Structure 1
Amino acid sequence: MQLIQTGYSGMTLLVDLNRDRLYTLGMVGMALAGGYWIASLIH
């Protein structure tokens, strides 16, 4: 039982770290798209 709980908490940590990484990549992508859109309005 202890092994299952330890494995579950480790898996939860990995999922949380990867979710944070996906959010970061998504925000960078949105920032680049927004910058491209604003530049297209100015130019």
Structure 2
Amino acid sequence: MQTIQSGYRGLSLLLKINFDRLFVVGTIIVGLLAGAFLGTAIAGL
């Protein structure tokens, strides 16, 4: 049980530290997907 608890605390700490990096990567992915969608929508006209 202690191993699971310490592992969860370690994972939680990593997420807190790297949240801004994950947010930036997520934003880039969403932007690329939106651009691909708009590109295919405009090309279909």
TM over 0.5: yes
Partner of 1:8 in structure 2? 19
Structure 1 unaligned segments of length 5 or more: list them.
35-43
Q: CA RMSD in A?
A: 1.8
Which ranges in structure 2 are unaligned for 5 or more consecutive residues?
1-11
Instruction: Report how many aligned residue pairs link the two structures.
Output: 34
- Once the two structures are TM-superposed, the CA of residue 3 in structure 1 deviates from its matched residue by 5.0
TM-score, normalised on structure 2?
0.61
State the percentage of identical aligned residues: 6
TM-score with structure 1 setting the length: 0.64
